[in-house]
Amino acid sequence: MTEEAAPDQPVSPRRRGRPRTAPDQSETRAKLIRAGLAHLTERGYGASGVDEILSTAGVPKGSFYHHFGSKEAFGSELIAAYDAYFLTVLDRNLDDTRRAPIDRLRAFAKDAEAGMARHGFRRGCLIGNLGQEMPNLPDSFRARLSAVLDGWQDRTEACLAKAEVNGDPKALAQLFWTGWEGAVLRARMVQGPEPLHAFTQSYFSLISKT
């Protein structure tokens, strides 16, 4: 019980002035999403408890269920939030007309590697992490994860279609994301960039016509 709520103390008259306002609900929601992304990219869905996420975010449990209703609903929001973030990284690189199309994809790989390095290669790709847990995840996640990967692949295909590459851009875009997600997993295992470098070197050697 706080001092303010103690029954044996006189209640002070309310002071005039600006009324107290509730915490910004959008900021509470944003804190929960940030904490959720941190936990799930490092530990996965099954190993991340709601109480841990609440502790990291510094918000009460009631706020969680007010905004999301369930862990499944929260997970769906995290998928959407991660996709939105990741698309900004992809678009920043793949739409950079100052570079040749293949160099744009190389720039994205370096950008994504730098993001992993900031967290000591402990955090992976949320979509890849969840894909590995798929047998134990809510069925609703399957279509969401597939749609996200399809969106990334479509952007990569469009970039490769502007370049002179060895092969079909659609197939090469699919190959990139299959290989990249595997390299991200290995990079987390060794906690270093070597698997990313090995994959990108092989991939760009394969698709380059020069």
pLDDT of 125 > 60? The answer is yes
pLDDT value at residue 188 = 96
Tell me how many domains the chain contains.
Answer: 1
pLDDT value at residue 63 = 86
Q: Is residue 36 part of a domain?
A: no
Phi-psi region of 128 (alpha: psi -120 to 50; beta: other; left: phi over 0): alpha
Which DSSP string corresponds to 13-76? PPPPSSPP-PPPHHHHHHHHHHHHHHHHHHH-STT--HHHHHHHHT--HHHHHHHTSSHHHHHH
Quick one: average pLDDT of 11-40? Answer: 68
* 67-101 per-position pLDDT tens digit: 998 999 999 999 999 999 999 999 999 999 999 99
pLDDT of 21 > 90? The answer is no
Structural domain of 132: 78-207
Angle in degrees, CA 69, 71, 72, rounded to 5: 95
Q: Is residue 9 part of a domain?
A: no
* 50-73 per-position pLDDT tens digit: 999 999 999 888 888 889 989 999
pLDDT value at residue 62 = 86
Q: Is residue 138 part of a domain?
A: yes
82: domain CATH number is 1.10.357.10
Q: Is residue 102 part of a domain?
A: yes
CA distance 71 to 50: 7
pLDDT value at residue 1 = 34
Q: Is residue 47 part of a domain?
A: no
Q: Is residue 166 part of a domain?
A: yes
HSE-CB of 194 using CA atoms within 13 angstroms: 5
Output the CA torsion sign for 122, 80, 36, 46. Answer: negative
pLDDT value at residue 210 = 55
Burial class (CB in 10 A: 0-12, 13-18, 19+), 47: exposed
Quick one: average pLDDT of 34-48? Answer: 94
The single residue listed with the structure tokens 């069925």 is: 139
Q: Is residue 22 part of a domain?
A: no
* 138-149 per-position pLDDT tens digit: 999 999 999 999
